[in-house]
Structure 1
Amino acid sequence: MARTRTYNNVVLLYSNIMIFFIPFVISLRSLTPDKSIHYNDYLVSETGKFEAGFTNIENSQNIYFCVWYKNLNPRTIVWVANRDTPLQNSTGIFKLTDTGNPVIVDGSENTIWFSNASTIVENPFLLLLDTGNIVVRNGSLNDVWWQSFDYPGDTLLPGMILRTNRINGAHNALTSWKNSGDPARGEFSYYIDSNGFPQLFISKGSVLVYRLGSWNGFFFSGVPWETLYSYFKFSFELTEKQVQFKYEPLNDTIVSRYLITPTGFVQRYIWLYQTETWQLFLAGPGDQCDNYNICGVNSDCNTGNTEICKCLIGFTPKSSNDTDGCVRKVKLDCDDRDRFVTYTKMKLPDTSSSWFDEKMSLVECEKQCRKNCSCIAYASLDIKNGGSGCITWFNNIIDMRTGSSSGQEIYIRVAASELGSSTNNRKKKMIAGILVGIGVLFLSITTVGYVIFLKRKKLQNSGRSTTINHEDNMNHEKESIDISTFDFSTIANATDNFSSINKLGEGGYGPVYKVT
């Protein structure tokens, strides 16, 4: 009996030891100031789509508080709170202060990270939404006092808004990681530039490297958008004070993320349930012409050409270097004599120095452009439903390219002489051809008449004229003589104004026409 009691005590002691070493995991739906999240604790969204907690990244020993997709493997992180201030061990705590400020402290209660929430919340309540957004609310109210979506990392999730203040230029942005294992802020930023007509840019520090283009009613003009509309709906809102952009999936089964990589590329992924992998859906920059302003001013970049940089009509290379851009051959007339050359399927030029009007028609847009001699080009602002609105460019255009499947028409201003000289030459050549043709026709008719006349005369001299009725001969001679007396209007009418339909051919003297 004693032996059995001893055995049971040993088993009980062993069990207690094992329980002591099993980590105790807590999953919370919400967080209040009286609760906190430690290492191996998790905050879970309502349907379990997203999860938040402390984790390390790849082989790094640093600890970060992150948001990731709960049921997707490998773990895909979409937001990092303390990306620039990692914890060195697993003693960190994520909590909510009494005033509603989310913070991270280490084991010594030193603040590692805190939100910049400036509003004091009386009854703060934090939770993780099924969108991946961490929000702070006032009790059960739906008003959001702070949210992680206002401070994006490298990933733009559905419902997350990119916005820029048009008054002071303040904006949020996607910022790349330093590398795949370090979420600290990298070199590249993705944001909306609100100068002129707003457009999306990627910059490396202060240097612009890729311009996705301006909004054209469907998407940004430098990005193929047709396939995107099969999966997403996009929203672009422009007011006097602010511009903002976001996207949503067309249905809840579509899981997607859009991010900027440590090397400065933007990539859109869709989750494939069949293979349980992320499929790359779209990426940019796509080719050499996507590099910002690679060809210089007043030029067109086209990867389909042997030389990808080509001056616009009316312009000539500034130097032997293709990237130096182009200058005008002839100054503008600055009046109604100026003409506009149409370019189609274009990624519109940089709009940061443009002027625009959302209500003006395209005809009014051209008139508006003509009023200002520095206006170099114009286009429709919105290409939906046949086009609407007006956008104009001044002095020089920058970063335009051919071959964009989502591109549109743009009208480039040139001096009348640039187009008129070639037009006048064509008219002169046509008139010369007509005159030569008339001369050839007149000479042919005269020659035929003269040959007939000689033949008749020869017959008379040989005594064979007795077989020919004298009266008929006189009539024939009269007819043959009359042939050579057609005036220009008669010939023009007979050839239907020298219509190409009546053209028989063309020789060294010009075209020959048949008479109808």
Structure 2
Amino acid sequence: MGTLPFMLFSLKFLLFSIQISSETDIITQFHSLHDGSTLTNGAFELGFFSPGSSTNRYVGIWFKNVPIKTVVWVANRNHPIQDKSGTLSISKEGNIVLQSKNGTNHWSTNITTKVSTSNLVAGLLGSGNFVLTDEKDNRDSGFYLWQSFDYPTDTILPGMKFGWNLTSRFNRRLTAWNNWDDPSSGQITYGFIKSDLPESKIQNGSSVIYRSGPFNGLRFGATQKLKHVPLFIVDFVYKTDEYYFHYQPKDPSLLSRIVINQTVSALQRFIWVEENQKWILYLNVPRDECDNYNRCSSFGICAMIGKSSMCECLSGFTPKSPQNWSVKDWSQGCMRNENWRCREKNKDGFIKFQNVKVPDTKKSWISKSMTLETCKVKCWENCSCTAYANSNITGNGSGCIIWFSDLLDMRQLPDSGQDLYVRSSAIETTNRDDSRKRMVVVTSTTCSIIVILFLFIIVFCWRRKAKSKFRETKLKESKSEQEDLELPFFDFGAIKFATNDFSNNNKLGEGGFGPVYKGMLSDGHEIAVKRLSHSSAQGIEEFKNEVLFCSKLQHRNLVKVLGFCIEEQEKLLIYEYMLNKSLDLFLFDSSRSKFLDWSQRFAIICGISRGLIYLHQDSRLRVIHRDLKASNILLDADMSPKIADFGLARMCGDDQIQGNTSRVVGTYGYMAPEYAIDGIFSIKSDVYSFGILLLEIISGKKNKGLSHSNRNYNLISQAWRLWTECTL
């Protein structure tokens, strides 16, 4: 990076604070910047660059500490300089200008406000915003005469307002680069349309690629409800003089950007992963085939079936070309079964469609004060009206949207969307109502039968679980500290991102309670994530039980649990990552077992015994593991053993050496006979399991996989036979 010994001509080089959104941002200021020099502030850098293989020179802003040069803003994107003679400076008229050596202007801020140039300061904020301000009058106001955040190129940065300022007529929208070597304005754009009901669009020239749907008071129409806590705080501000979108990462250290990509014609959100030294794609819009604009054409509605899209005509409509429709050519759309008779009583009506992305509002009329009933009447009285809906779905709904002509770009959104009322003939409406009535009768009858069966099941289960619930209640009363799990709570979105959405490529294995995945947190820390399957026998109590024990127990031969996550149906345990996975992968594999010499096996045995002694004697809780086996012994990078999986563990008092259970759980082959037969467990149960494990480590054979002289043995029988024959 170049230094700046010549950057200050008439202005002093100062650092001062400017308030932005209640946070202090420092401006690194300058008066003149030459090609070869850069201006640095926080995570960003401003200077001259040449993209890809191009020799053209541009002034831009990029991430400072990212080795892959990632440009987020370009000043002279459509007017490059052909050599390295460029100078960026404040002109006597009070503008920031970019000139080449012959005095040609290649870019300017073009502000017309008359100010004293002696007080002007230009510089770079830590947020990546390049600003021009009056140092004397606006030092602490956060007001800028000009700022790059008002003129984005292809990237949205955290804190940037993206949308319309109706007073200043700023339309902050994105325009993609032409290609990787050319930052000039391409054909792909993304921005908000200027409307009483804001919505955003991705376009290729004049052709629409994606439409977000109008803002309905909660979200944009095509936006689906999130099933997990996201990594970002996203907000849409909708006021009389402006409407805009902006976002901030929950973790301020997280580097992120939203960019419109010319190559794939999509809006993409990227996150920088320091450990991998690369940008990871976090979100892509359009998300799926149904997000593609007007997928099903007029009066057609799109639904995702797995990863494929499927189009259907709305009720009361049929395909214009049934032959094309049958081969999934939906371009001609749908038409009415029969025309309605406008404003004739009992001749036309409306069919309600739930959870849909409403049609394109290009040919629509909007009232923010009208009730839904008045909206219906107004639509019915206009022969050109094809549908109506609320403009705001918060509370009981308010406002009115009325559509004219064909309904375009609709999709089904099972867990979001809103109600849409489509005009249809009275016959279609009656048929649909009759169908609904039949459905209600069938549903009511079915539900009654299910309720009766359910009551029988409840009574049966209640008797079985009465004793179990009583014991659990007593345990909770005596151990109220269970509620204080003493472990960090992890964000589900962060874990989902860390495991690449629980990709099979990251899957380490699968036990009786669910799969385990390898992951990497944003700070580069490797983790193992145990994800309980929804059908797992391990419920919330077993899960909390494991979290409780892992928060209380600390020993070098017990696996370390970093935290947990409970969200809706998801239950996750986050462990330290064990490089060599589990002991059974070495013991029972002919090639890997060669790495376990006798000294290594002895060290593993000693480590397991130390962990077991800690559980039984030295910890502040007396713990019986109840599921000690080779797959529950994990090995770190140094092959040191660590006991894992405390989901079935039980806690005993200091004077209690055994317990009893009616629910025998664990792994057959490792269970002590008195536990497997009578449900009696004690520290001796673990010692028995340890003995089986000891024989497996010594022999390298599974307890139930031994064959000798055409007779089947387990390891205990084999050991006893050798003992009695005096060969052991």
2:204 is matched with which residue? 204
CA distance in 1 between partners of 2:57 and 2:436 (Å):
75
2:411 is matched with which residue? 401
CA distance in 2 between partners of 1:262 and 1:230 (Å):
26
2:65 pairs with one of 60, 71, 76: 71
Distance 1:277 1:131, change over 3 A: same
Contact 1:378 1:411 in 2 (8 A): yes
Q: For residues 213-267 of structure 1, give each alpha carbon's deviation from its aligned partner in whole angstroms, at most 9, with x where no partner exists.
A: 221233322233525855122123242x654333333452343211100132100
1:316 is matched with which residue? 318
Distance 1:228 1:296, change over 3 A: farther
Look up the equivalent residue of 2:359 and give its one-letter code.
Answer: P
Q: Deviation at 1:139?
A: 1.9
TM-score between both structures, scaled by the size of structure 2: 0.51
Identify which range, 406-415 or 90-99, moves more after superposition.
406-415
Equivalent position SS for 1:418: helix
Consecutive unaligned residues in structure 2, runs of 5 or more: 8-12, 14-26, 325-329, 439-447, 450-728
Contact 1:31 1:96 in 2 (8 A): no
1:327 pairs with one of 323, 329, 335: 335
CA distance in 2 between partners of 1:133 and 1:60 (Å):
26
Q: For residues 175-205 of structure 1, give each alpha carbon's deviation from its aligned partner in whole angstroms, at most 9, with x where no partner exists.
A: 0001122111111111111246321111111
CA distance in 2 between partners of 1:395 and 1:279 (Å):
43
1:412 aligns with 2:435: no
Q: Deviation at 1:418?
A: 1.2
Task: Write the mapping of 1:84-483 to structure 2, written as runs, cut at 5 A.
Answer: 84-122=78-116, 123-140=119-136, 141=138, 142=141, 143-164=143-164, 171-195=171-195, 197-224=197-224, 226=226, 230-239=231-240, 242-250=242-250, 252-263=252-263, 264-304=265-305, 308-320=310-322, 321=324, 322-333=330-341, 334=343, 337=346, 338-403=348-413, 405-421=415-431
2:76 is matched with which residue? 82
CA distance in 1 between partners of 2:74 and 2:276 (Å):
27
Q: For residues 318-367 of structure 1, give each alpha carbon's deviation from its aligned partner in whole angstroms, at most 9, with x where no partner exists.
A: 33443112222223343664433232332221112222233444444434
Residue identity (%): 36
Q: For residues 256-283 of structure 1, give each alpha carbon's deviation from its aligned partner in whole angstroms, at most 9, with x where no partner exists.
A: 2111001321001223345443221110
2:56 is matched with which residue? 62
1:43 is matched with which residue? 39
Q: Deviation at 1:407?
A: 2.2
Look up the equivalent residue of 2:279 and give its one-letter code.
Answer: W
Q: Deviation at 1:37?
A: 0.7
CA distance in 2 between partners of 1:126 and 1:350 (Å):
43
Which protein has the larger Cα radius of gyration, Structure 1 or Structure 2? 1
Contact 1:346 1:408 in 2 (8 A): yes
Identify which range, 111-120 or 222-231, moves more after superposition.
222-231
Distance 1:289 1:168, change over 3 A: farther
1:446 is matched with which residue? none
Identify which range, 273-282 or 140-149, moves more after superposition.
273-282
Look up the equivalent residue of 1:269 and give its one-letter code.
Answer: F
Distance 1:216 1:277, change over 3 A: farther
Look up the equivalent residue of 1:324 and give its one-letter code.
Answer: Q
Q: Number of aligned pairs?
A: 404
Contact 1:194 1:352 in 2 (8 A): no
Contact 2:351 2:429 in 1 (8 A): no
Equivalent position SS for 1:144: coil
Consecutive unaligned residues in structure 1, runs of 5 or more: 1-21, 429-499, 502-516
Look up the equivalent residue of 1:270 and give its one-letter code.
Answer: I
Contact 1:362 1:380 in 2 (8 A): yes
Identify which range, 292-301 or 184-193, moves more after superposition.
292-301
Distance 1:202 1:418, change over 3 A: same
Contact 1:224 1:406 in 2 (8 A): yes
CA distance in 2 between partners of 1:418 and 1:43 (Å):
68
Q: Deviation at 1:85?
A: 1.6
1:438 is matched with which residue? none
Distance 1:422 1:130, change over 3 A: closer
CA distance in 2 between partners of 1:118 and 1:383 (Å):
43
CA distance in 1 between partners of 2:169 and 2:100 (Å):
36
CA distance in 1 between partners of 2:414 and 2:101 (Å):
55
Distance 1:146 1:344, change over 3 A: same
CA distance in 1 between partners of 2:436 and 2:369 (Å):
39
Look up the equivalent residue of 1:215 and give its one-letter code.
Answer: F
CA distance in 2 between partners of 1:425 and 1:30 (Å):
69
Contact 1:196 1:352 in 2 (8 A): no
Contact 2:269 2:283 in 1 (8 A): yes
Equivalent position SS for 2:272: strand
Identify which range, 108-117 or 247-256, moves more after superposition.
247-256
CA distance in 1 between partners of 2:262 and 2:237 (Å):
26
Q: Deviation at 1:167?
A: 10
CA distance in 2 between partners of 1:230 and 1:383 (Å):
26
Contact 1:175 1:188 in 2 (8 A): yes
CA distance in 2 between partners of 1:230 and 1:144 (Å):
30
CA distance in 1 between partners of 2:168 and 2:351 (Å):
37
Contact 2:213 2:221 in 1 (8 A): yes
Larger relative CO (CA 8 A, sep 6+): 1 or 2?
1
Contact 1:196 1:355 in 2 (8 A): no
Distance 1:168 1:72, change over 3 A: closer
2:468 is matched with which residue? none
Distance 1:407 1:270, change over 3 A: farther
Equivalent position SS for 1:352: helix
Contact 1:362 1:388 in 2 (8 A): yes
Q: Deviation at 1:79?
A: 0.1
Contact 2:154 2:174 in 1 (8 A): yes
CA distance in 2 between partners of 1:58 and 1:312 (Å):
49
1:15 is matched with which residue? none
Equivalent position SS for 2:188: strand
Contact 1:174 1:260 in 2 (8 A): yes
CA distance in 2 between partners of 1:44 and 1:295 (Å):
50
Look up the equivalent residue of 1:117 and give its one-letter code.
Answer: I
Contact 1:345 1:408 in 2 (8 A): yes
Contact 1:126 1:136 in 2 (8 A): yes
Equivalent position SS for 1:324: coil
Q: For residues 388-414 of structure 1, give each alpha carbon's deviation from its aligned partner in whole angstroms, at most 9, with x where no partner exists.
A: 433222232111112465422222222
Distance 1:58 1:218, change over 3 A: farther
2:514 is matched with which residue? none
CA distance in 2 between partners of 1:368 and 1:60 (Å):
59
CA distance in 2 between partners of 1:382 and 1:70 (Å):
43
